[in-house]
């Protein structure tokens, strides 16, 4: 998210869209990983003690979750950063200095998705809309629709997922789908993610989301076909330049259930 880390197009959208929705009267919470190349001093990050202290279990290992926060004064917005020494305190984001895809990117993703949901619970804030961006958040829809489906924090939440062009051509760890399983889930729930490719992560997110945003012009043809076959509500790319369309899309998603009942 700009101005903290400007890696891809996502950084611009996740900076501009929340502010546009806040200006419309939405109450916003923003969560992102605290990647190691985010300058804590310059961006004035500080730890939130009351939110830190949780452990996120991955592959039977406890991983401490540290929550830090920074403000964007011009937008009156706070951003929560999910940190862990082993997973995020590195000089690079998804590839090492030689360009090699980190072998534990699957666990870093699982940590972020689980940690984000547990952080929102600890905030005591029940979102009407959970808007996820890109592959790093692709497990959030599956977790909300399964593990958290009866949790008071998320039981009424609608999930919107933004798809971008493929960010990586590698594969996540072969054991990724098994490691991703949470309580009240089996490997059948994560089977769609099992290939570990960028397209497979998108396929899983599409399956479990309520609405899809096509956030790039150059999206993989198989992914687009998957979106079409899903019969989910879609915000087309040619409509994403106007944030008013997002507002209307959120309204459509949250009112779908009422329309179906009527």
In residues, how long is the chain? Answer: 262
With a CB cutoff of 8 Å and minimum separation 6, the contacts of 123 are 29, 51
Q: Whole-angstrom Cα distance, residue 220 to residue 19?
A: 29
**What's the pLDDT tens digit per position in 71-127?**
887 778 888 999 999 999 888 888 989 999 999 999 999 999 999 999 999 999 999
CB 157 within 8 A of CB 128: yes
Using DSSP, how many helices (H) and how many strands (E) does the chain show? 9, 9
- Partners of residue 212 on adjacent β-strands: 161, 234
For 10-261, give the CATH class: alpha beta
| Helix 221-230 × helix 198-208 angle, to 10° | 10
Q: What is the pLDDT of residue 258?
A: 44
Backbone angles phi, psi at 118, to 5 degrees: -70, -35
Each domain of the chain, given as residue ranges in start order, spans 10-261
Q: Whole-angstrom Cα distance, residue 90 to residue 203?
A: 29
Distance of CA 230 to CAs 3, 130, 226, Å? 35, 19, 6
pTM of the predicted protein model: 0.92
End-to-end CA distance of the chain: 39
DSSP string, 12-69: HHHHHHHHHHHHTT----EEEE--TTS-HHHHT-EE-TTT--EEEEETTEEEEEEEEE
Exposed/middle/buried for residue 258 (C-beta within 10 Å: 0-12, 13-18, 19+): exposed
DSSP string, 138-204: TTHHHHHHTTTTT-TTTTT-EEEEEE-S---SS---TTHHHHT--TT--TTTTGGGTT-SHHHHHHH
**What's the pLDDT tens digit per position in 116-171?**
999 999 999 999 999 999 899 999 999 999 999 999 999 999 999 999 998 889 99
Q: What is the pLDDT of residue 257?
A: 54
**Average pLDDT rounded to a whole number, residues 227-256:** 92
Q: Whole-angstrom Cα distance, residue 7 to residue 22?
A: 24
- Residue-averaged pLDDT of the chain: 90
Confidence of residue 180 (pLDDT cuts 50, 70, 90): very high
Backbone angles phi, psi at 251, to 5 degrees: -65, -40
């Amino acid at each position: 998210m700009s101005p903290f880390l400007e890696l891809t197009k996502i950084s611009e959208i996740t900076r501009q869209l929340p502010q546009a929705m806040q200006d419309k009267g939405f109450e916003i919470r923003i969560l992102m990983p605290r990647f190691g190349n985010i300058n804590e001093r310059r961006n004035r990050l500080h730890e939130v003690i009351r939110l830190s202290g949780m452990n996120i279990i991955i592959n039977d290992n406890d991983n401490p979750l540290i929550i830090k926060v920074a403000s964007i004064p011009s937008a009156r917005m706070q951003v929560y950063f999910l940190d862990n020494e082993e997973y995020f305190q590195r000089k690079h984001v998804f590839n090492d200095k030689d360009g090699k895809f980190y072998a534990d990117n699957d666990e870093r993703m699982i940590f972020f998705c689980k940690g984000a949901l547990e952080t929102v619970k600890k905030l005591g804030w029940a979102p009407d809309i959970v808007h996820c961006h890109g592959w790093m958040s692709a497990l959030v829809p599956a977790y909300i629709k399964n593990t958290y489906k009866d949790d008071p924090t998320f039981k009424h939440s609608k999930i919107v997922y933004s798809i971008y062009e493929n960010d990586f051509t590698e594969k996540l760890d072969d054991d990724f789908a098994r490691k991703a399983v949470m309580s009240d889930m089996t490997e059948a729930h994560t089977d769609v993610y099992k290939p570990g490719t960028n397209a497979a992560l998108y396929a899983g997110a599409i399956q479990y989301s309520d609405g899809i945003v096509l956030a790039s012009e150059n999206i993989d043809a198989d992914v687009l076909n998957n979106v079409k076959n899903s019969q989910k509500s879609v915000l087309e790319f040619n409509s994403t330049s106007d944030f008013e369309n997002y507002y209307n899309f959120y309204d459509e998603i949250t009112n779908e259930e009422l329309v179906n009942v009527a």
